[in-house]
Amino acid sequence: MRILVTGGAGFIGSHYVRSLLAGEYTGGAPVAVTVLDALTYAGRRGNIPADGLDFVHGDVCDLPLLLDLFPGHDAVVHFAAESHVDRSVVSGVEFARSNVQGSQAVLEAALRSGVPRVVHVSTDEVYGSIERGSWTEEYPLLPNSPYAASKAGSDLLARAYWRTHGLNVSVTRCSNNYGPYQHAEKLIPRFITRLLRGATVPLYGSGRNVREWLHVADHCRAVHHVLTGGRAGEIYHVGGGEERTNLEVAQRLAALCGADPGLIRHVTDRKGHDLRYSLDDSKIRRELGYAPRIAFEDGLRSTVDWYREHTEWWAAPAAQGPDPDPLPHPVTSPRARTGQLP
């Protein structure tokens, strides 16, 4: 089996690639892997092994490149996206380009190249916010951030390529991921890397916003379940089942980092900040026999240990986003991230 992984140098994609190469989903049997990644600020070649895979530095919006690359692959797993909500609040341009146009190009190239199977990786944020209960796969899409809207657009394109052309594509929608190799701009690594340095952590608003946490290893295993057993045109939720307020997460991280909880500072809330996300993931459990294995407390502890032991991975300013230290707002200009400041 030869699998092409887009965004395979980012946080989740690189975990999936490392797992494939280690034969984790195939009883140790090797899987041939091609990674396509534009190596934006969020992607690093060093996140995946130097050898044992084909790496292509390229853009998912580049249809001629995709048409060159896709033939001969048995599957495409599409992770590549702009993924940080805060950046999409500053500017949605790159989100519309990479997430919508890029996904359309991936679907089109898969269709024209005769790739027999595609998994499109998406997010629970396409549903907006839910105060009580959990979303099933039938809920209407009500995205609130430009990031979520761009992912919703790509999900609809995936459905359209299945319905119109019969492309064998499934969509996964997962809750918030955490684990090693996550960019320090995201909530958990941002808090860990600041607490380990004795710096204050900025908590949006009251900190009452609830997120459902999913370890990246569980998410990637679920994606592979969907790749091998999921049905065409279907959506599968991947939830972690572990809901926490952001304040609870910050307090637990302070304890695990051995830091003063007084470092947690409430800052002006994010615009349009969703209050709660919660997925009903009974479909993937029932149909594909998947269930998460990593309890949040264990996963959080091992994630803190990983960041403690890999300071070289995150301590360089470039690894933390454009402006990591001043509070409350880490994001300055969307152009700063690519070093394209005038």
Residues 206 and 266: beta-carbon distance below 8 Å: yes
Query: Minimum distance between the CB of residue 13 and ligand NAD, rounded to whole angstroms?
Result: 5
- Binder among 157, 167, 174, 235 for ligand NAD (CB under 6 A): 174
Query: Is residue 12 a contact point for ligand NAD (CB under 6 A)?
Result: yes
- Binder among 37, 108, 242, 274 for ligand NAD (CB under 6 A): 37
Among positions 93-112, residues that touch ligand NAD (CB under 6 A) are: 98, 102
Judged by CB under 6 A, how many residues of this single chain contact ligand NAD? 30
Query: Is residue 281 a contact point for ligand NAD (CB under 6 A)?
Result: no
Binding track, positions 122-141, relative to ligand NAD; x by CB under 6 A: -x------------------
What Å distances lie between residue 47 and 15, 17, 220, 238, 302, CA to CA?
Answer: 8, 9, 15, 24, 18
- Binder among 104, 113, 168, 177 for ligand NAD (CB under 6 A): 177
| From 20-28, 175-183, 193-201, 270-278, span contacting ligand NAD (CB under 6 A) | 175-183
Query: Is residue 38 a contact point for ligand NAD (CB under 6 A)?
Result: yes
CB contact burial 222-242 (16+ within 10 A = b; e otherwise): bbbbbbeebeebbbbbbbbbb
CA dist 31 and 245 (Å) reads: 39
Classify residue 165 as exposed, middle or buried by CB count within 10 Å of its CB (0-12, 13-18, 19+).
middle
Active site residue 16: no
- Ordered alpha helix ranges (H), the chain: 11-21, 63-69, 85-90, 93-95, 102-113, 146-165, 187-196, 216-229, 246-257, 282-288, 296-309, 311-314
Active site residue 147: yes
CA dist 327 and 274 (Å) reads: 21
Six token digits for residue 41: 């600020």
Nearer to ligand NAD, 108 or 200 (CB): 108
Six token digits for residue 273: 């900040």
Residue type, 213: W
Query: Minimum distance between the CB of residue 14 and ligand NAD, rounded to whole angstroms?
Result: 7
Query: Is residue 303 a contact point for ligand NAD (CB under 6 A)?
Result: no
CB contact burial 81-96 (16+ within 10 A = b; e otherwise): bbbbbbbbbbebebbb
Nearer to ligand NAD, 117 or 183 (CB): 183
| From 2-10, 190-198, 268-276, 324-332, span contacting ligand NAD (CB under 6 A) | 2-10
How many residues can be counted in the chain? 342
Query: Minimum distance between the CB of residue 18 and ligand NAD, rounded to whole angstroms?
Result: 13
Query: Minimum distance between the CB of residue 167 and ligand NAD, rounded to whole angstroms?
Result: 18
Q: Which of 16, 25, 127, 147 is catalytic?
A: 147
Query: Is residue 296 a contact point for ligand NAD (CB under 6 A)?
Result: no
Active site residue 236: no
| Largest distance between two CA atoms of the chain | 57
Q: Which of 125, 155, 242, 281 is catalytic?
A: 125
Half-sphere exposure of 63 (CA within 13 A, CB side): 10
Q: Which residue has its beta carbon closest to ligand NAD?
A: 10
Would you please indicate which residues are annotated as catalytic (active-site) residues? 124-125, 147
- Residues at the site binding ligand NAD, with contacts judged by CB under 6 A: 6-7, 9-13, 37-40, 42-43, 59-61, 79-83, 98, 102, 121, 123, 151, 174, 176-177, 183
